[in-house]
């Protein structure tokens, strides 16, 4: 492609709307433009990259025997009513009506649609296993779209669904898919690993998220450098450091005038926060509940929600707290708490001599013993793992970092086949429900994540496998006939050799302009041709991610180029 004929609107300045590097660079390098909040247009460069990601996915899916289909975006409400998700999915499900006032949803995911399809055709165990996938646009009416295509309302997703005769076969399929996913992300040039995950709204009992570790990631991940344990903070476990700090003494009240928060109380009493019990009140769709947790720990609401099996969970407001506990805000504690279910974080179990709210203004209890001074709560793991705690796999210290979730795999079991009556006749002639799995990849998010992982101060540094073009050919002296002749020759030969080349043949752009654009667009290899190099009989080649410029005699140019391309490809091998 000649730049003079291309649609690549690069920007010199950082658009004010963009916060994170990938978002800024996607706008600046002319990859995309915004139409509305969370809705983007993909321009030619981005489209070429997306196609490459999709093709890698297609190849790997084919390798594990999955077949591609294309499902509708507009889906009738009745399908969603069958599984209860018409209600449960909430406002994120984009609902529309047709001219007859019939309800539809723009598909955010397609379990219902695919299960309905398979249900209508599945008769015998002989048709199983079955593995179907599609690559299509999805809609989610996100509360807050963010970070460009990282969290957009309309996005491209690969979603796959597997159907097996039983749990054992389904699990085999699941692990096959996990392996395929690892290959896909590696082939896209991403450093990405599966982490244990919460299975959320989609249901099921087993899940992994594929995380690209990045500062700007929205998910918190606990991981171990010594063994391969890693998990989303929503499910992560650790061996906590237990605080057997204090001697056992009779409980006594101490004045804490106007000291309410954990940090205020610990400063005032000169104790560390891990001796304090924090009491939090949550409201749910049922009764309110109380949570007690060590002062230096945080409640993980996903864990709590899963333990309680509730849909709604919200920290109570100050007014609600006082009404529910009959204690003043800031001095709520487990002693004297009545008529409320109390969940205690497991870490508290072994400790002694705790400090907690005194149930009346300006007072805290000290030397509290669980079970002696207040009833033993229901124990559950409801807290966030903290950096430095011991790994459950190998006892080495855990790290907590941030990640971008580019894919997720779920074992669904019969979550969808039961309500949608997706059954088959088994070998023994008995009707059985099919066992399902589901597997997603955010294709547009993968593109953004790849940039988030491969950029520098000048622009993008594409992995070759998903780069819009492989070579950026820069004609630096468009008025030098010899340079033009050489550049045109190299361009023609690249086209002939099927080397994807973007040729900056612009007459009007200055040298600096071309260099800046090339750095910004970030194709893996640039080839520079100007009067200077032509006179010396050489061509300059630069690998985007390296600072040095190589000088290659014209006669050996293609030989060298092909070697360099191969080296780049090696970086994307699974």
Partner RNA sequence: CGGGGCGUAGCGCAGCGGUAGCGCACCUGGUUUGGGACCAGGGGGCCGUGAGUUCAAAUCUCACCGCCCCGACCA
Binding site for RNA (CB under 7 A): 10-17, 19, 28, 34, 36-38, 92, 108-109, 138, 140, 142-147, 151, 157, 159, 200-202, 218, 301-302, 313-314, 407-408, 410, 440-442, 458, 476-479, 507-513, 515-517, 519-520, 528-534, 540, 542, 549
Please say which residue, 358 or 442, places its beta carbon nearer to RNA: 442
d(CA 48, CA 573): 20
Please say which residue, 164 or 540, places its beta carbon nearer to RNA: 540
Q: Nearest approach, Cβ of 414 to RNA (angstroms)?
A: 16
Q: Is 20 in a helix, a strand, or coil?
A: coil
Q: Nearest approach, Cβ of 54 to RNA (angstroms)?
A: 14
d(CA 304, CA 306): 5
Q: Nearest approach, Cβ of 544 to RNA (angstroms)?
A: 10
Distances (CA, A) of 100 to 54, 103, 104, 114, 237: 37, 9, 11, 25, 51
CB-CB contact of 110 with 412 (8 Å): no
Q: Nearest approach, Cβ of 56 to RNA (angstroms)?
A: 17
Q: Nearest approach, Cβ of 14 to RNA (angstroms)?
A: 7
CB-CB contact of 514 with 473 (8 Å): no
CB-CB contact of 541 with 526 (8 Å): yes
Q: Nearest approach, Cβ of 135 to RNA (angstroms)?
A: 11
Q: Is 17 in a helix, a strand, or coil?
A: coil
Please say which residue, 329 or 511, places its beta carbon nearer to RNA: 511
Please say which residue, 15 or 553, places its beta carbon nearer to RNA: 15
Instruction: Give the up-direction half-sphere exposure of residue 51: CA atoms within 13 A in the CB hemisphere.
Output: 9
Please say which residue, 132 or 534, places its beta carbon nearer to RNA: 534
In the structure encoding, which two tokens stand for residue 144, read together? 């807050």
In the structure encoding, which two tokens stand for residue 541, read together? 């080649």
- Order of strands across the sheet that contains 103-106: 74-76, 103-106, 94-97
Residue written as tokens 């690993």? 193
Please say which residue, 386 or 511, places its beta carbon nearer to RNA: 511
Q: Nearest approach, Cβ of 35 to RNA (angstroms)?
A: 9
Question: Residue 305 belongs to what H/E stretch?
Answer: helix 301-308
Please say which residue, 254 or 386, places its beta carbon nearer to RNA: 386
Residue 451's contacts (CB-CB under 8 Å, 6 or more residues apart) are 21, 22, 25, 26, 460
Q: Nearest approach, Cβ of 87 to RNA (angstroms)?
A: 13
Please say which residue, 55 or 531, places its beta carbon nearer to RNA: 531
Q: Nearest approach, Cβ of 109 to RNA (angstroms)?
A: 4
Q: Would you mind telling me the total number of residues written for the chain in this entry?
A: 574
Q: Nearest approach, Cβ of 555 to RNA (angstroms)?
A: 17
Closest CA to 413 of 190, 205, 273: 205
Distances (CA, A) of 23 to 20, 131, 447, 448, 517: 6, 34, 11, 7, 17
d(CA 440, CA 454): 23
Please say which residue, 44 or 200, places its beta carbon nearer to RNA: 200
CB-CB contact of 118 with 435 (8 Å): no
d(CA 261, CA 15): 41
DSSP conformational letter for 538: E
Please say which residue, 277 or 486, places its beta carbon nearer to RNA: 486
CA angle 205, 206, 210 (to 5 degrees): 145
Closest CA to 29 of 46, 48, 41: 46
Radius of gyration of the chain (CA): 29
Q: Nearest approach, Cβ of 385 to RNA (angstroms)?
A: 16
Please say which residue, 116 or 519, places its beta carbon nearer to RNA: 519
Please say which residue, 165 or 283, places its beta carbon nearer to RNA: 283
- Positive or negative, the CA dihedral 172, 190, 465, 539 is negative
Q: Nearest approach, Cβ of 45 to RNA (angstroms)?
A: 15
d(CA 350, CA 240): 11
């Amino acid at each position: 492609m000649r730049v003079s004929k291309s649609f690549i609107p690069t920007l010199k300045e950082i658009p004010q709307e963009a916060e994170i590097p990938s978002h800024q660079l996607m706008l600046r390098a002319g990859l995309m433009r915004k139409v509305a909040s969370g809705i983007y247009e993909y321009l030619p460069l981005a489209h070429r990259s997306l196609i490459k990601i999709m093709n890698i996915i297609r190849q790997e899916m084919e390798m594990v025997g999955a077949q591609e289909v294309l499902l509708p975006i507009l889906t009738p409400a009745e399908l969603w009513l069958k599984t209860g998700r018409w209600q449960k999915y909430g406002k994120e499900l984009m609902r529309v009506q047709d001219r007859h006032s019939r309800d539809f949803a723009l598909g955010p995911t397609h379990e219902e649609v695919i299960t309905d399809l398979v249900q209508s055709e599945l008769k015998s165990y002989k048709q199983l296993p079955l593995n179907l996938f599609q690559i299509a646009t999805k809609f989610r009416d996100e509360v807050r779209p963010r970070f460009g295509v990282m969290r957009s309302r309309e996005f491209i997703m690969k979603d796959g669904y597997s159907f097996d005769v039983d749990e054992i076969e389904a699990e085999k399929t699941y692990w096959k898919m996990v392996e395929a996913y690892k290959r896909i992300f590696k082939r896209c040039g991403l450093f990405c690993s599966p982490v244990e995950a919460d299975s959320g709204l989609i249901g099921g009992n087993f899940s992994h998220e594929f995380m690209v570790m990045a500062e700007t990631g929205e998910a918190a991940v606990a991981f171990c450098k010594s063994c391969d344990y890693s998990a989303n903070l929503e499910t992560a476990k650790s061996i906590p450091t237990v605080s057997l700090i204090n001697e056992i003494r009779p409980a006594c009240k101490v004045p804490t005038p106007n000291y309410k928060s954990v940090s205020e109380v610990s400063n005032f009493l000169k104790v560390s926060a891990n001796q304090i019990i924090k009491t939090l009140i949550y409201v749910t769709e049922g009764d309110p509940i109380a949570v007690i947790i060590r002062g230096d720990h945080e409640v993980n609401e996903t864990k709590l929600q899963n333990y309680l099996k509730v849909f709604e969970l919200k920290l109570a407001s100050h007014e609600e707290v006082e009404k529910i506990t009959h204690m003043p805000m800031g001095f709520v504690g487990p002693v004297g708490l009545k008529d409320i279910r109390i969940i205690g974080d497991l870490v508290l179990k072994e400790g002694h001599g705790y400090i907690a709210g005194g149930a009346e203004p300006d007072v805290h209890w000290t030397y509290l013993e669980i079970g002696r001074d207040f009833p033993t709560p229901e124990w559950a793991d409801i807290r966030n793992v903290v950096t430095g705690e011991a790994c459950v796999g190998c006892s080495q210290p855990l790290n907590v970092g941030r990640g971008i979730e580019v894919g997720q795999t779920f074992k669904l079991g019969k979550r969808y086949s039961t309500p949608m009556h997706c059954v088959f006749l088994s070998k023994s002639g008995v009707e059985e429900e099919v066992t399902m799995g589901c597997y997603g990849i955010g294709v547009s998010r993968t593109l953004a994540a790849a940039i988030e992982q491969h950029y520098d101060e000048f622009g993008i540094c594409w992995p070759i496998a998903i780069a819009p073009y492989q070579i950026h050919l820069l004609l630096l002296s468009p008025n030098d006939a010899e340079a033009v002749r050489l550049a045109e020759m190299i361009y023609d030969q690249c086209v002939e050799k099927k080397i994807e080349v973007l040729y900056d043949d612009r007459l009007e752009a200055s040298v600096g302009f071309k260099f800046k654009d090339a750095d910004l667009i970030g194709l893996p290899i640039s080839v520079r041709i100007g009067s200077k190099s032509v006179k010396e009989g050489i061509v300059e080649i630069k690998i985007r991610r390296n600072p040095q410029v190589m000088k290659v005699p014209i006669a050996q140019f293609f030989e060298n180029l092909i070697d360099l391309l191969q080296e780049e490809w090696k970086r994307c091998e699974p």
